[in-house]
């Protein structure tokens, strides 16, 4: 992963700030005029009708599509625009070999058959990039020297970004299969040794072989999972 940080941007003020705020508000109004909600097919594609997949066709996933995917994911909200997630797209035989060391035996075949396996990771020192990401106020003192708070913030927000990745991938026509049956310690040693990055979960991406699917498992009804206060 690159250690280079984009140059901090001067926070806008005065007329520039007013103009930018007005433009941002108009963008949202225009979006709501164009589309007020997804139709049922769109919702089915990304969540209601989607499935986690375990077997894959040999159809490749292009680098251009992965770049499009990240361009969508990076727009998802995180606290203080902290963007702590880091995504490692494992595609090469060498990368797959390294990753296989961490997997439980049942997951090796799932990973090996997928065109891409994403390591969803987070940077424990994400806060060092806040002058670029959150230029209008220096929030680094909220995290510097506070390792536990930094780790909690990084993990929580990068997990959100990992979920954005899965939904965005489905929106682009890809299938996904998240995996947690692996050793984070081994992944961190193989891919992130000597860095401030730590792994969270893995997600296979590609075009599924649906013949490996079984029936959908139960979900809780509203009354079991939800309440009002």
Structure confidence by residue, pLDDT tens digits, 106-115: 999 999 999 9
C-alpha angle with apex 209: 213 to 159, nearest 5 degrees? 75
Instruction: Tell me which residue range forms the domain holding 181.
Output: 52-210
**Is residue 135 included in any domain, yes or no?**
yes
178, 93: one domain: yes
Does this model's pTM top 0.75?
yes
**Is residue 219 included in any domain, yes or no?**
no
**Is residue 217 included in any domain, yes or no?**
no
194-200 long-range contacts (CB < 8 A, ≥24 apart) are 195/1, 196/123, 196/124, 196/125, 197/1, 197/86, 197/121, 197/122, 197/123, 197/124, 198/121, 198/122, 198/124, 198/154, 199/119, 199/120, 199/121, 200/120, 200/121, 200/122, 200/155, 200/158, 200/159, 200/162
* Mean model confidence pLDDT for the chain: 95
38, 95: one domain: no
Residue-wise pLDDT for 156-171, tens only, equals 999 999 999 999 999 9
192, 105: one domain: yes
What does the pLDDT read at residue 12?
Answer: 78
Q: Decide if pLDDT at 2 tops 60.
A: no
Q: Decide if pLDDT at 23 tops 70.
A: yes
**Is residue 227 included in any domain, yes or no?**
no
How many domains, the chain?
2
């Amino acid at each position: 992963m690159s250690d280079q940080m984009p140059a901090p941007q001067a926070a806008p003020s005065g007329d520039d700030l007013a103009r930018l705020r007005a433009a941002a508000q108009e963008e949202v109004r225009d979006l709501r005029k164009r589309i007020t909600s997804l139709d049922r097919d769109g919702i089915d594609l990304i969540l209601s009708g989607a499935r986690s997949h375990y077997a894959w066709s040999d159809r490749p996933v292009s680098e251009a599509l992965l770049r499009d995917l990240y361009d969508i994911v990076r727009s998802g909200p995180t606290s203080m625009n902290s963007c702590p997630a880091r995504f490692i797209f494992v595609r090469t035989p060498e990368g797959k070999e390294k990753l296989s060391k961490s997997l439980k035996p049942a997951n090796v075949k799932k990973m090996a058959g997928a065109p891409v396996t994403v390591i969803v990771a987070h940077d424990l020192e994400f806060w060092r990039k806040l002058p670029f990401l959150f230029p209008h106020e220096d929030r680094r003192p909220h995290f510097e020297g506070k390792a536990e708070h930094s780790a909690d913030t990084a993990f929580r927000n990068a997990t959100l970004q990992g979920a954005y990745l899965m939904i965005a991938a489905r929106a682009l026509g890809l299938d996904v299969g998240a995996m947690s049956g692996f050793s984070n310690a081994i992944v961190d040693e193989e891919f992130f040794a000597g860095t401030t990055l730590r792994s969270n979960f893995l997600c296979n991406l590609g075009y599924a072989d649906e013949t490996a699917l079984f029936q959908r498992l139960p979900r809780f009804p509203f009354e079991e999972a939800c309440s009002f206060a």
